[in-house]
Amino acid sequence: MSSTDEISDYEPKKVYVDSGVKQHDHLPQYDGDIVAEMSEEERMVYEHGVKKFSRLGWKRLTVILIVEAIALGSLSLPSTFATLGMVAGVICCVGLGFVAIYTSYVVGQVKLKFPLVAHYPDAGRLMFGRFGYELINFMLVLQLLFLTGSHCLTGAIAWISITESGICSVIFAVISAIILFLLAVPPSFTEMAILGYIDFGSIIIAIGITIISTGIKSTNAPGGLAAVPWSAWPKDDISFKDAFISVTNIIFAYSFAMCQFSFMDEMHTPKDYVKSIWALGLTEILIYTLTGALVYAFVGQDVQSPALLSAGTLMSRIAFGVALPVIFISGSINTVVAARIVHGRIFKKSNIRFINTKMGWITWLITIAAGTVIAFVIAEVIPFFNDLLSISSSLFISGFTFYFPALMWFMLIREGDWDRKNIALGALNVFVFLIGILTLGAGTYASVQDIIDKYTAGSVRGVFSCSKPS
């Protein structure tokens, strides 16, 4: 297979449905769109579907990226600072943030150059043919389902913390799964972006409560803020496993490129994506760095993960209550992306894929229900699920955020001779590729070792355990 032949399959096509309908150079998204052979009713469904999934502007793209990227995991960063120290924590948050902005820029350039790339697996096909498509499709859908399952467990933790009841955590996980399903019903990211404003407000308020509460608590403690045991440098007894798990926590916090192709496919002006990734990237850098540094400075080495648990019983309950929208909205977006990939592939030659007919809605609801149930069962059945999520993140997000975009630059984006500009960009992408490979290898090792240590210590949860998830 020649890469040229594969890429040529994705050259833009023009589809002229009607003089009054917007012409989309990037349509059809899938093979099988033979507009001329459609009935009048089918043409109307088609035209409505095209418009429905072409309404996303750069501002709402920013919001939907925030929904996907910034979740309760940001409150795990203070514990990361406690392991790495203030200096290394700030350097990693800022440095890796700018690397993530660059790789997201590369992903967007691939989408502009090859408009028919609707989801990340399509870029895999451009680089590695059918094998690349199937491999990345498996990686992406599995990771998205794992993330949905993680939000089921996080929701259970939140409900238990808020209610302080002895109800079995599985019941709270079921309630969380139902909420995740309901929030995943809107199939369009333009519609999901409306929930994004609530999501963003939720996490900002939760972070604010955590920072203010821990600051007041530390100020009122004996010795005040001066007595807080924080350090500019890493722990004295830090192990490679602990250090790298902390670094990967920061890496995973910047994994917004994973769903970027899917979101950009709904944009009416795709070239505006650059505004979105800069707005998101700088927002993430600011939130992550301030949250990690301030809470660590207020609490010190004993900071818990998530950090709102360090705010005191009452304030942590309030913070969890405020954080409920971000837990469920950010979790549901993973279900929507996974379902759009699966649903679109199954019905790629039918107007059903537009989800604007009775059959379209029935099949869509079945798809998101199946995804939510699978995610819930995986999270409850696998005793070491959170560590498995760390392994999958090391294996997959290292690719989506780092080494795949680096390969895209070499295989799809680079043009012309190796002049100074291309040499400099080539060196940058080699560096990005190496970050990805290091995360892949060392991150996976650290996560596996953590599972072994937990089994040795006997701290692994049981199947469908009623105990509080950790």
Q: Where are the domains of the chain?
A: 54-455
Mean per-residue pLDDT of the chain: 87
Q: Which of 240-254, 307-321, 379-393 has the lowest mean pLDDT?
A: 379-393
State how far Cα 212 lies from the chain centre: 27
Q: How confident is the model at residue 206 (pLDDT cuts 50, 70, 90)?
A: very high
Which residue type is seen at 113? Answer: K
Which residue type is seen at 393? Answer: S
**Closest Cα partner for 266 from 138, 354, 200, 346?**
354
CA distance 463 to 310: 28
What average pLDDT does range 405-434 have in this prediction? 96
- Helix, strand, coil share of the chain (percent; to 5): 75, 0, 25
Which residue type is seen at 97? Answer: G
CA distance 283 to 277: 10
Write the CB contacts of 24 (distance below 8 Å, at least 6 apart in sequence): 15, 50, 54
State yes or no: pLDDT of 27 exceeds 70.
no
Q: Which of 6-15, 184-193, 355-364 has the lowest mean pLDDT?
A: 6-15
CA distance 178 to 159: 14
Q: How confident is the model at residue 55 (pLDDT cuts 50, 70, 90)?
A: confident
Q: Which fold has domain 54-455?
A: Amino acid/polyamine transporter I (1.20.1740)
State yes or no: pLDDT of 51 exceeds 90.
no
Q: How confident is the model at residue 37 (pLDDT cuts 50, 70, 90)?
A: low
**pTM of the predicted model, to two decimals?**
0.88
- Could you check whether the bond before residue 405 is cis, i.e. omega within 30 degrees of 0? no
Q: How confident is the model at residue 307 (pLDDT cuts 50, 70, 90)?
A: confident
CA distance 352 to 363: 8
Q: Look at the alpha carbons of 293, 299, 303, 307 in this order and tell me if their dihedral is positive or negative.
A: negative
